[in-house]
Amino acid sequence: MLRILDVRTGEPVAAAPARRGLTRIEAHASGLDPTALRVLVTTDLLVRALELGGTPVWTILTAPRDQPELCTAATQLAIRPFEDGRDLASGLGEAQVIHVAADRHTPAVRAEGPVAAVAPVTWDGPEPPLPALLADPAALRLALLSVRRHEPARLDRAALDRAARQLAHWRRAVAGWARQPSRPVPDRVRTRLRTAWDDDLDLPAALEVLRDVERAPDLPDGARFESYAFADRLLALDLARELGSPA
SS (H, E, C) 49-115: HHHHCCCCEEEEEECCCCHHHHHHHHHHCCCCCCCCHHHCCCCCCEEEEEEEEEHHHHHHCCCCCCE
The alpha carbons of the chain give a radius of gyration, in whole angstroms, of 18
Q: Give the pLDDT mean for 105-125.
A: 86
Residue 180 and residue 68 share a domain: no
Residue 161 and residue 74 share a domain: no
Angle between helices 203-215 and 221-235 (to 10 degrees): 170
**pLDDT > 90 fraction of the chain, expressed in percent and rounded:** 81
Q: Which domain holds residue 136?
A: 128-147+156-247
CA distance 143 to 166: 10
> What domain count does the chain have?
2
Answer yes or no: is pLDDT of 98 > 90.
Answer: yes
Residue 204 and residue 109 share a domain: no
Q: Give the pLDDT mean for 59-81.
A: 95
Nearest to 238 by CA among 247, 229, 246: 229
120-145 per-position pLDDT tens digit: 999 998 988 999 999 999 999 999 99
pLDDT for the residue numbered 1 = 87
20-37 per-position pLDDT tens digit: 678 999 999 999 999 999
pLDDT for the residue numbered 94 = 64
CATH number for 79: 3.40.50
CA distance 2 to 45: 11
Decide if 114 is inside a domain: yes
What pairs with residue 94 in β-bridges?
Answer: 22
Residue 27 and residue 46 share a domain: yes
Decide if 123 is inside a domain: no
CA distance 228 to 247: 19
* Beta carbons of 7 and 116 less than 8 angstroms apart: yes
Q: Length of the chain, please?
A: 247
CA distance 147 to 7: 18
Residue 241 and residue 134 share a domain: yes
* Element holding 217 (H helix, E strand): none
Answer yes or no: is pLDDT of 207 > 80.
Answer: yes
**Torsion sign over Cα 219, 222, 223, 229:** positive
Task: Give pTM, 2 decimals.
Answer: 0.93
Nearest to 213 by CA among 174, 160, 168, 156: 174
CA distance 28 to 101: 5
| Mean of pLDDT over the chain | 92
161-185 per-position pLDDT tens digit: 999 999 999 999 999 999 999 999 9
DSSP state of 8: T
pLDDT for the residue numbered 40 = 98
pLDDT for the residue numbered 154 = 96
pLDDT for the residue numbered 89 = 42
